[in-house]
């Protein structure tokens, strides 16, 4: 059976590379992008000769209405999501005392609210069908063990995303795996040109978790396919 993976922020950076690697593994990919035109452009590049299977949908994960519209569109097109990769995120500068309210709320809606709403939209279907993979793209900056580094709007929301990972893993069972991944410091628009890793390495653990076998881990936090501290 061909599985379908929904990847948020699939039009650039790590998300784009996750889409590419999942396609290479034979999955159908729903490439979600805030701007439909950006997603369509990347889909054309990924598909090449047309052999790849990509569905492009507009999706702003910070907007619950946009998530609802995406869900309705996929239902209309009879697309069932077997794998959910919550990749889209923002990293605003600022500390606890100086981050403005609007930016803080946007970080919460994007980095935590989006994954929360998407999980509620698609995981019930995974439960009904008896198969599912949820990968929350987190960061060592969201780890208490890692010292919660980086700007607070990012580290606090990633720590909360880690908590969401654990709570969801406690609620599902069977062949439904829920994990968080730390891609490391990756050369993307967010990571910057000086980052130590390319997108290929950054995407590798995410794709591994998205395609885990039925005896794979659930409720864990991984980097380079190895468990790391929450």
Domains of the chain: 4-227 (3.40.50.720)
What is the percent of the chain where pLDDT is above 90? Answer: 84
Exactly one of 131, 141, 154, 221 is catalytic; which is it? 154
Extended beta strands in the chain, E state:
4-8, 28-33, 54-58, 83-86, 132-137, 176-181, 221-223, 226-227
Q: How confident is the model at residue 50 (pLDDT cuts 50, 70, 90)?
A: low
Q: Which two tokens stand for residue 127?
A: 């439960």
Residue 157 CA from chain centroid, whole number = 14
For residue 55, the cross-strand partners are: 30
Q: Average per-residue pLDDT in the chain?
A: 93
Among 2-11, 127-136, 141-150, 213-222, the range scoring the smallest mean pLDDT is 141-150
Question: What are 36-47's pLDDT values in tens digits?
Answer: 999 999 999 998
For 14-41, what is each residue's pLDDT tens digit?
Answer: 999 999 999 999 999 999 999 999 999 9
Record the tokens describing residue 158, joined without a space: 């990633």
Provide the total of helices (H) and of strands (E) in the chain, helices listed first.
7, 8
Token pair, residue 114, equals 């989006």
- Is 131 an annotated catalytic residue? no
pLDDT for 189 = 66
């Amino acid at each position: 059976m061909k599985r379908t993976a929904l990847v948020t922020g699939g039009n650039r950076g790590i998300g784009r590379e996750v889409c590419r690697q999942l396609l290479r593994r034979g999955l159908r990919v729903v490439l979600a992008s805030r701007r439909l035109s950006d997603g369509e452009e990347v889909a054309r590049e990924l598909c090449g000769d047309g052999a790849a299977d990509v569905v492009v949908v507009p999706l702003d994960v910070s907007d619950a209405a946009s998530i609802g519209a995406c869900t309705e569109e996929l239902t209309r097109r009879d697309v069932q999501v077997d794998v959910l990769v919550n990749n889209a995120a923002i990293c605003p500068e600022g500390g606890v005392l100086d981050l403005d309210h609007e930016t803080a709320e946007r970080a919460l809606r994007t980095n935590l609210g989006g994954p929360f709403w998407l999980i509620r939209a698609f995981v019930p279907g995974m439960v009904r069908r008896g198969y599912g993979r949820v990968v929350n793209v987190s960061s060592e900056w969201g780890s208490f063990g890692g010292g919660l580094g980086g700007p607070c709007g990012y580290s606090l929301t990633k720590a909360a995303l880690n908590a969401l990972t654990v709570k969801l893993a406690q609620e599902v069972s069977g062949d439904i795996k829920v994990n968080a991944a730390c891609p490391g410091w990756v050369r993307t628009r967010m990571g910057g040109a000086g980052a130590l890793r390319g997108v290929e390495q950054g995407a590798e653990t995410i794709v591994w978790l998205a395609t885990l076998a039925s005896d794979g881990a659930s409720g864990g936090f991984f980097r380079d396919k190895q468990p790391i501290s929450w």
